[in-house]
Amino acid sequence: MTTEAQTPQIYLVTPPEFELSSFPGQLARLMNEVETACLRLSLATRDEDKLMRAADAIREVAHQVDVALVIDTHVVLAERLGLDGVHLLNGSRSVRAARKALGPDAIVGSYCAQSRHDGMTAGEGGADYVSFGPVGGALGDGALAEHELFQWWSEMIEVPVVAEGGLTEDLVRQLTPVTDFFAIGEEIWSQDDPLAALKRLQAAMAG
């Protein structure tokens, strides 16, 4: 547990689909200008060939700036492609199996929606971080990860916590004291200028 507040780090999430011909260049521009802690490949497709080609393309970008690349869900692909780890979407259920498959040095993250219990179980199972969300918007069933959850976690639990889903500048300002990372994806890719949008959210972390 840290005793002094630190500015959260940026955890970039890819859009659910992108053009291999143009997106890696756009991503490189962002990552060269804004310090990024981690990059998550989060494609909607289940097509293994598409996932592998996308991973190859953006891994090169990530590793040029020494940023770890994780992939949603696909433990087998993370292992096969030599990625840095996996981001699990089913709470704490697969954490132990992923850790066993990928070994002690891989990154294993766990999205736990709004469940404090799932987050604690994931941490006990060997997760390197836990993410809660969405923090804003009207996604899914409308349930939100509230400020109080992050407040409690940051005071009681040592496992790093990620805030994601529906981030706005106001939410970033509110959550900056109680989260370790902001997972930023659709919030910027849906904008005409993703870099400018990312810089606005980054500025909000500074108050």
Round to whole Å and give the CA distance between 8 and 139.
Answer: 24
Output the six-digit token pair for 47. Answer: 């097509």
H helix intervals, the chain? 23-33, 48-64, 75-80, 95-102, 116-124, 147-156, 169-175, 186-189, 194-205
Residue at 34: amino acid letter:
V
CA gap 124, 109 in Å, rounded: 12
Q: Which residues of the chain have pLDDT under 70?
A: 1-5, 138-140
Residue 138 main-chain phi, psi, to 5 deg: -120, 55
Nearest by Cα to 184 from 37, 33, 58, 82: 37
* 72 phi and psi angles, rounded to 5 deg: -60, 130
Rounded CA separation 78/153 (Å):
28
Kindly report, residue by residue over 146-203, the tens digit of the pLDDT: 999 999 999 999 999 999 999 999 999 999 999 999 999 999 999 999 999 999 999 9
Domains, the chain, in order of start with CATH, read 9-205 (3.20.20.70)
3-class SS of residue 126: coil
C-alpha 44/C-alpha 51 separation (Å) is 9
Contacts of 103 (CB under 8 A, 6+ apart): none
- Give the pLDDT score at 141: 76
Q: Is 151 exposed, middle or buried, given 0-12, 13-18 or 19+ CB atoms closer than 10 A?
A: middle
